[in-house]
Structure 1
Amino acid sequence: MENMGLGSQIAIFAGAAMGILVAVLLTGYAYQAGGSVIEGEVAKARGLVLMAESAREQIAEK
């Protein structure tokens, strides 16, 4: 890096910092998206169980 000018060194440092920031943000987004998918599937499963329980109760009353 001694051969490079100050502007080049600053540009490389800024590029590396931006790359690290993007990597951190994408990792956080992926983690959050994964949690949202799981929560959505759990909500669907709860709805299915509640529907089955309701049907069972209606059949039991007859």
Structure 2
Amino acid sequence: MRVELDEPKCVASGQCVMAAPEVFDQRDEDGIAFVLDEKPPADLLEDVREAVAICPAAAIRLVDQ
């Protein structure tokens, strides 16, 4: 699985960072999220799925490869 984040859609809520801090972080200057690990290990996928579910802007998705 690959994590994709549509940065222009991001509203800087930080929900993804709280759900999966090993996979997401936020820029200091504007709070927009970015992906730290596009291909996280299997043990983090549940956290990433939670981040996808709670993102208020629907800016995150998991893609099968």
TM category, shorter: under 0.3
TM-score of the superposed pair, with normalisation by structure 1: 0.23
Question: Would you tell me which structure has more helix in proportion to its own residues?
Answer: 1
TM-score of the superposed pair, with normalisation by structure 2: 0.23
Question: Would you tell me which structure has more strand in proportion to its own residues?
Answer: 2
Bigger Rg over Cα:
1
Relative contact order higher in (CA < 8 Å, ≥ 6 apart):
2
